[in-house]
Amino acid sequence: MRYFLELAYRGTAYHGWQRQPNGISVQEVLETALTTVLREPITIVGSGRTDAGVHAGQQFAHFETAKELPETLIRSLNGLVSNNIAVYACFPVRADDHARYTATFRYYQYTIIRRKNPFRTDLAYVFAHPLDVALMNEAASLLVNHTDFESFSKVKTDVRTFNCRIDFAYWEEQADGTLMFHIKADRFLRGMVRAVVGTLLAVGQGQLSVASFDDIIRARDRKRAGRAAPADGLSLVEVGYPAEVFTMRQNPPAL
């Protein structure tokens, strides 16, 4: 039987989602906890591979087991993982439902604060320089006109295509000066959101024009884009699936 997990994590302490030979990952922690509870080797597949230091308010993963799951599974998992990971639900899905490939969209937010705040350490990027948010939004609006985003992808990556369908991309300025970048797409390339944010910050500082930002996208050359923004401001906040994926989910989720 295949199951989906719904979870969240604060990524500061982890070397990203995916197992790494040189550091602890969210995937490794969850697989260890599941293996301990179910008493058999468990491997999980996530909806996406967040980078080191990136957070997730919502993440999904799937795993398979022939065993009947204990009623206390969620409580047991949360007792085994650290406080920076929370497992919210586990529910059966169809055999061909896949955490990564069945997903229809991913929605990320990037948070920028204008002065140091000890209560938001590692959860936002402190950026005090003046920014033209209107220009940044004008440039961001161009993203939906394109499909090839090689200019914002990490150079060494094993993808077959750099095409993504972006549904929206915009900046929101809050009353306290916090800037929130919202971007939703069917898929994202490795390092893509951070590279987009870093390049848009160059537009906001007057280092790049809106036309130059469009030229960078068309160039399909990572060297033309700006430096990637730090990981701590980035969070995966929602992953979308067809409604059929959730037909066997308990409501509310078992604790």
Residues with active-site annotation: 51
Nearest-angstrom CA–CA distance, 1 and 168: 36
Omega prior to 230 cis, within 30 of 0: no
Residues whose CB falls within 8 Å of the CB of residue 133, separated by 6 or more in sequence, listed in order? 171, 173, 179, 204
Sole residue written with tokens 């061909």: 96
* Cβ neighbours of residue 151 closer than 8 Å, sequence gap 6 or more: 195, 216, 217, 219, 220, 221, 222, 224, 225
A 10 A CB-CB count for 107 gives 18
8 Å CB contact between 3 and 65: yes
Q: What is the distance between the alpha carbons of residues 201 and 123, in angstroms, rounded to a whole number?
A: 18
Strand, coil or helix: 25: coil
- Taking the C-alpha atoms of residue 66 and residue 180, their distance in angstroms, rounded to an integer, is 43
What is the number of alpha carbons within 13 Å of residue 148 lying toward its C-beta?
Answer: 11
The CA–CA distances, whole Å, from 45 to 37, 100, 101 equal 18, 7, 10
- How far apart CA 149 and CA 165 sit, in angstroms, is 10
